[in-house]
Amino acid sequence: MRVCFTGDIVGAAGKRAFCSIMPRFKAENGIDCLIVNAENSTHGMGVSINVINDLMAAGADGFTLGNHAFSNKDFITQAPKVKNCARPANVTPSWPGYDYFVFEKGNERLGVFNLLGQVFSGVNADDPYSKADEIIDKLRKEERCTSIFLDFHAELTSEKIVMGRYLDGRVSVVAGTHTHVPTADEKIFPGGTGYITDAGMTGAEDSVLGMKTETSVTRLVYKMSARYEPANGPASVCGIVFNTDASGRCLDIRRFCEYE
């Protein structure tokens, strides 16, 4: 299966870039399944069913989230309706939605799940490693998945690399998100698991992590409060493309950034 995963979509600029670039990108690259981290897709914080529908119309097949999963409160009641959306599985059971979803193509079944790191990720998360064990077991035995993809939404590079190494040989790919900055370390580990520390973001280029630069300068330099707002202007889509074989092994993984 040929899979594309794009990093955190930030605000209207990110959504616009995704919707203008990805239909062509998906067709030209023969992508079977397009997975999108949507945690910042609605006004830069959270997600909404309207944005989910727009992204699906542009080719998104499924979604992952992160610490901002429910920053837009409307999504608390909407989440159960979005069956192809995996919210972080290692937070509180009071978060609505699903621990994973499965994408099917012929005889191949791709299980997709999302976990949150425990350090500086903004939400108290439970142990992600034992939760990964539990979900992988379920995806293999109950859901008969041939391939498995994990979006590990975490701040620390070490935490993400450890997760990739820990799951080597048991999942197809571990991709990191949350820092919004793509890393140049995509590789295949000895056991056959593809890995990248951060897939990057889909948002405005002239920004700080997709948000207006002035806001971050006000907060960090002048120590004044300022409300984060998504930046405008030309945006890029960053992500990865990978191939898995029938046994779920990652055959190749490459990162990309496409510009408006």
The smaller minimum CB distance to Fe ion, of residues 139 and 240, is found at: 240
Q: Which is nearer to Fe ion, 116 or 148 (CB)?
A: 116
Please say if 68 is a catalytic residue: yes
Kind of pairing between the strands at 85-86 and 100-105 = unpaired
Q: Which of 77, 85, 89, 29 is nearest to 56 (CA)?
A: 85
Structure tokens at 150: 């994990």
- Give the 3-state secondary structure of residue 9: strand
- By DSSP bridging, strand 235-244 and strand 202-204 are antiparallel
Instruction: Report residue 245: phi and psi, to 5°.
Output: -95, -175
Distance of closest approach, residue 47 Cβ to Fe ion, in angstroms: 11
Closest approach of Fe ion to the CB of residue 177, in Å: 7
Nearest CB to Fe ion, comparing residues 16 and 109: 16
The nearest distance, CB 209 to Fe ion, in angstroms, is 8
Interface residues with Fe ion (CB under 5 A)? 8, 40, 66-67, 178
The residue (of 59 and 66) whose beta carbon lies closer to Fe ion is 66
Among residues 43, 68, 153, 180, the one annotated as catalytic is 68
Helical packing angle, 157-166 and 128-141, nearest 10°: 40
CB 257 within 8 A of CB 182: yes
Using Cβ positions, the residue closest to Fe ion within the complex turns out to be 8
Tokens of 127: 């142990």
Least Cβ distance, residue 184 to Fe ion (angstroms) = 19
Q: Which residues are catalytically annotated?
A: 68
